[in-house]
Amino acid sequence: MTAYDFLEHFSCPDCGSDVMKHESDLLCIECNRCFKVYNGICVDFIPKNKTVRKCETDLEERAFKVYGKLFDETFAWKENPKPWGLEVPQYYLKKLKKHKYQIGKLIPHKITKCVDVSTGSGRFSWDLAEKADMCVFCDISVDSVVYLTKRALAEKKSNVIIVRADYASPPFKTEVFDLCLCQDTLIYGYSHETNLLQTLHKITLKNGCAIIDFSNKYHHGFWHKPYTYRYSRKQMNNILQNSGFQIEECLPLYYELSNDLDEVNITSKIAKLVLPPTRYIYKIVK
């Protein structure tokens, strides 16, 4: 599969019109904007203009500056790309393994088309390519999309497409994916979270699902980034209930219990009585 095989599901991130193949790239049939395709499987779908978002706090302002830097970066085929999540301290790997394990409990048995929005290094989603008919990995980061493209080519993945995108202006038509994954991204403030969930709702098929997570307001681990938001369970539920999704399942995630994946040890059971979860992972259905 190549990006050209997915044309019926792409749309221009600027005007929303269809795109067509034009030589080796993609072209919007309405505004004539050209989108570069690399190695047949990677598309740079960054829109012309940044998202306009009102920042009401210093945390939101810092997060928006990070977004602006990633948006403005010129696409370049980097020799050694370093996406988020690729290089982490050794002690943190077990926590991420635990996180992925909990996500796995919520993945549907059958997947036709799935997308990971804000993929990073693909740590949580790369294995979905073995289960789904086709996978789209999206990120705004040049390092991320170059790394993922190189990995897909090296591993000869035939059902993977990589898209550089601003998820506030998704280059997809309505109701495309039966599974949307989005991890460690609903952390930049209420307006950001609301807009991102609107995007997920738009591109998710009717009766399809999304698997997302929030950081817990009452957990104070040192690994929380200084520019990220955390929420109470009540706040999480309110955000999701206003998104158009229905909550199907919610799993607490305890990074402190990463040595016990199924939390069956007596020490884990006791710890859960006093420790707040690090995050909550939700399966939500359209």
Share of the chain above pLDDT 70, in %: 98
User: Which residues does 273 contact at the CB level (< 8 Å), separation at least 6?
Assistant: none
Q: What is the mean pLDDT of residues 40-54?
A: 92
Q: Is the pLDDT of residue 94 over 90?
A: yes
Q: What is the mean pLDDT of residues 7-16?
A: 97
Q: Is the pLDDT of residue 73 over 80?
A: yes
Spatial distance between the Cα atoms of 174 and 203, rounded to a whole number of angstroms: 5
Q: What is the pLDDT of residues 170-190, one digit of tens each?
A: 999 999 999 999 999 999 888
Spatial distance between the Cα atoms of 173 and 8, rounded to a whole number of angstroms: 8
Q: Are 278 and 255 in contact, with CB atoms under 8 Å apart?
A: yes
Confidence of residue 55 (pLDDT cuts 50, 70, 90): confident
Say how many residues make up the chain: 286
Give the max Cα distance, the chain: 63
Q: How confident is the model at residue 51, as a pLDDT?
A: 86
Q: How confident is the model at residue 224, as a pLDDT?
A: 52
Q: What is the pLDDT of residues 228-283, one digit of tens each?
A: 789 999 999 999 999 999 999 999 999 999 999 999 999 999 999 999 999 999 99
Q: Is the pLDDT of residue 3 over 90?
A: yes
**Helical pair 58-72 and 190-203, crossing angle rounded to 10 deg:** 50
Q: How confident is the model at residue 170, as a pLDDT?
A: 95
DSSP assignment string, 199-243: HHHHHEEEEEEEEEEEEBTT---TTS-TT---B-HHHHHHHHHTT
Q: Is the pLDDT of residue 60 over 90?
A: no
Spatial distance between the Cα atoms of 230 and 12, rounded to a whole number of angstroms: 33
Q: What is the pLDDT of residues 207-226, one digit of tens each?
A: 999 999 999 998 876 555 55
SS (H, E, C) 165-196: CCCCCCCECCCCEEEEEECCCCCCCHHHHHHH
Place of tokens 């369970």: 233
